Amino acid sequence: ETGACAVQNIGAYGMEAKDVICAVETINLAGEKRTFSAKECKYAYRYSIFKEASMKDFFVTYVHFALSKTPHYVLDYENVCEELSTYSQLSLKTIREVIIRIRKSKLPHPQTVGNAGSFFMNPVLTYAAFETIQKQYPQIPYYKLNDNEVKIPAAWLIEQCGWKGRAMGAAAVHDKQPLVLINTGGATGEDILRLSQALQASVKEKFHIEIHPEVTIVGK
């Protein structure tokens, strides 16, 4: 089961679905089949061609992955490295187990607490914009994407605005991972949307950074 990985280009801890997808098979409402190469999918951060309005009649039927037989370790995250330091040998199996354990400790399970996972994308800034903000907030974490851009953790921005663990009615910001909005019981879609808009406004007011939803909002 691949879920929506080929549509959303899901990712975590330095890897994205696009890193291993080589082709995507689809069918449209007219019954026409088409296979898209990875290049034709136009993958970017949490984006693919399938998110365009012009592709609304297309349905993904199969996803082709190309996996390397040679281990490739991506160890860009401090908490992952800290966990791995307790192991005498490094392997893909070990890294997988560590990342699963970290994610389980931070993310609520949707079967017990209503949520849609990460609600916002991490904002990407130019180095010039980042350096301006860094002068005011030297402790701001970031991840280098290339020579011109850096990614800022949206969770950190939300937490610095004082929203971690706070609620608006039955909609709340998770107390362990502020990137996740939860339904504590009885919250409507409008309640979640209103909370998300309050977070966006707070982050923009404090940091002059816009954070955008990673989720797809359906309805009015």
166 is catalytic: no
Dist. CA 115–CA 170, nearest whole Å: 12
Q: Please tell me which residue in 118, 149, 202, 210 is annotated as part of the active site.
A: 118
Indicate if 214 belongs to the active site: yes
Distance CA 24, CA 41 (A): 8
Please state, in angstroms and rounded to a whole number, the distance separating the CA atoms of residues 52 and 134.
Answer: 34
Has 118 been annotated as catalytic? yes
- Which among 129, 125, 121, 128 is positioned nearest to 145, based on CA atoms? 125
16, 25, 37, 46: the catalytic one is: 46
Strand blocks (E) in the chain? 11-12, 15-16, 21-28, 33-37, 58-65, 114-118, 124-126, 143-144, 149-151, 167-168, 171-173, 180-183
Q: Which residues are catalytic?
A: 46, 118, 214
